Structure 1
């Protein structure tokens, strides 16, 4: 049976000009794995909490304090992308860092048969560099861009020092993103092969 893939676009909300990435992933990808892919392609550094909001359900990493909230958080690894698509879901929300509140609109653009010569996930294209971690959300990022772009801005030197060097908003690092996804695809390939061999051994 041929593997199926989805082409999805990840777009950061409340930011202009648009910051977005397009990738292709297997329909067997669960939401925890999709979180890791989003972290790799934006990229983010992964040290804040995250959550997917799909209809009236939230998916993430449930913690011991979840019982005090009225809304339950389900395990991200329990839901696969293909299941969502089968249920008619074509768009949902991914939030990273509840302080800065980075909201990403995830849209399923198409579903098709995988190319047997490609190891998935794979990066297609995108535009503009993602904000630095802990910059202060969309409004803080816009202030950061203004300060770092103008040498005579009173906060220019402080922002360059805080970031650790110049920030190039149009250079989103396509080569680095491609390399990250290739590494993830290789790990997935090795894992699937190990699973296949283990199953064959059990069936003997």
Structure 2
């Protein structure tokens, strides 16, 4: 049984705005302070005490408001800002020194910070204006999630970096993952000339790896470092530390950092305009709640970065099997009583398309000749053939565009991925992996994780195991289109062309 898990009522890292909570007066604040002073056990116990106290007294006061930040004037010409980005309260310090163009939008700075620090863009974030220490009475800059929640304010994608920092020493604050609450301070150290053609962002120095995602915040990260160093903190929960070490990624090295690797990722650039690609791609990324740097975001970026153009000869070779099937069917063929192609048609397709090279048997019964069965079934699912009153006939589109391989490919791309909703999600992931050059017979291990994260569940087996079957309706069609070539790059280009929705290039020979 396949089911979609119910989505949570709200994300687990959403911070309520002050005006959504009830009163919390000064006397109660003093009481809470005394309770925290008396409470042993470190930050986790303190957080538990806060949660319990707020449940009893109804939260913080709604008597204060957050004022809008006042932007600085934009520079007439871009310059380089040399900034030091530090993850607050880390010991030893975790920091990066970046050279960034002053005219970048904050939404672009967000992606740069995610790459430079090593985060995966799996949680919400906010920028807060300085130029000094954090001011909790100042409203953060908003992102798309805030808009969807009905917030009003300044959008980060409309605010330039030089509108929030301008002079050496100015600070900008960046908070990532409101649950773990990773607070970063971005301090402007130096202003340098920027020349046309220079990279808009470059990492020049840094120290240490960022904490693993979802480790639990600064306190938990410090406990992890102590445990890795063989000096677990006094009074620490040994069972929890043991579970934490088991959960830790195998390749995690807290001291590791590479300027070269960061700059390679920065040069890869942002996601393309997904309006030019299959609409399911943007929808899948939205349901995954991931950004450009999430595992799915990285896959999409890689899958959409290559050529989508096929020559006339390459397009012709890709649709050859379907064209041959349509010409063999002609005006229509009466199916057998069991609903299969007649033996003479099956045998003609089997021999003329050279399918005996990947199958065995006489090749005259469709139910025993899988390559022919797959060809006919996928052609029907793709809207190239239709079955009516025991007869198989070409569709109007097929008749009109039989001799136009590019039109056939565009039509096939419009019908992919195939199947039920969960098969379509799995099929789209299969197309993306094919577009980066992955072999069709090697399903990616991340497919099951993505399908699980967007809510799919199945009984009896894991989602990863089920995904192998769910991708099959789409992969059968893709196999028909790529069977004529062993060139991995051409196979990837065919997959990208099926996903592309932009203006078609001029056909070439």
Q: Structure 1 residue aligned with 2:267, among 163, 182, 197?
A: 182
Task: Provide the C-alpha distance between the structure 2 equivalents of 1:60 and 1:89, rounded to a whole number of angstroms.
Answer: 24
Task: Provide the C-alpha distance between the structure 1 equivalents of 2:204 and 2:195, rounded to a whole number of angstroms.
Answer: 14
Q: Structure 2 residue aligned with 1:38, among 79, 94, 113?
A: 113
Task: Provide the C-alpha distance between the structure 2 equivalents of 1:88 and 1:172, rounded to a whole number of angstroms.
Answer: 26
Greater Cα offset, 93-102 or 114-123: 114-123
Give yes or no for contact 1:50–1:60 (8 Å, CA) kept in 2: no
Q: How does 1:66-81 map to 2 (within 5 A)?
A: 66-67=150-151, 72-81=152-161
The 1:167–1:157 alpha-carbon spacing in structure 2 relative to 1, beyond 3 Å, is farther
Q: How does 1:112-123 map to 2 (within 5 A)?
A: 112-116=192-196, 118-123=198-203
Give yes or no for contact 1:96–1:103 (8 Å, CA) kept in 2: yes
What are the ranges of 5 or more consecutive residues in structure 2 without an aligned counterpart?
1-75, 131-137, 233-237, 273-509
Q: How does 1:40-119 map to 2 (within 5 A)?
A: 40-55=115-130, 56-61=138-143, 62-67=146-151, 72-86=152-166, 90-116=170-196, 118-119=198-199
What are the ranges of 5 or more consecutive residues in structure 1 without an aligned counterpart?
188-204
Q: Structure 1 residue aligned with 2:252, among 167, 185, 192?
A: 167
TM-score normalised by the chain length of structure 1? 0.78
Once the 2 structures are TM-superposed, how far is the Cα of residue 78 of structure 1 from its aligned partner?
1.2
Q: Structure 2 residue aligned with 1:148, among 198, 220, 228?
A: 228
Query: May I ask how many residue pairs the two structures share in their alignment?
Result: 182
The 1:88–1:2 alpha-carbon spacing in structure 2 relative to 1, beyond 3 Å, is closer
Larger Rg: 2
**Quick check: which one's helix share is greater?**
2
Once the 2 structures are TM-superposed, how far is the Cα of residue 49 of structure 1 from its aligned partner?
0.3
Give yes or no for contact 1:148–1:159 (8 Å, CA) kept in 2: no
Once the 2 structures are TM-superposed, how far is the Cα of residue 167 of structure 1 from its aligned partner?
2.9
Local SS of the residue matching 2:154? strand
Task: Provide the C-alpha distance between the structure 2 equivalents of 1:74 and 1:161, rounded to a whole number of angstroms.
Answer: 42
TM-score normalised by the chain length of structure 2? 0.33
Once the 2 structures are TM-superposed, how far is the Cα of residue 157 of structure 1 from its aligned partner?
5.3
Give yes or no for contact 1:8–1:24 (8 Å, CA) kept in 2: yes
Q: Structure 1 residue aligned with 2:212, among 132, 142, 148?
A: 132
For each residue in 1:82-104, what CA deviation from the matched residue of structure 2 results, as whole angstroms up to 9, or x when unmatched? 22235998102100000000000
Higher relative contact order (CA 8 A, sep 6+): 1
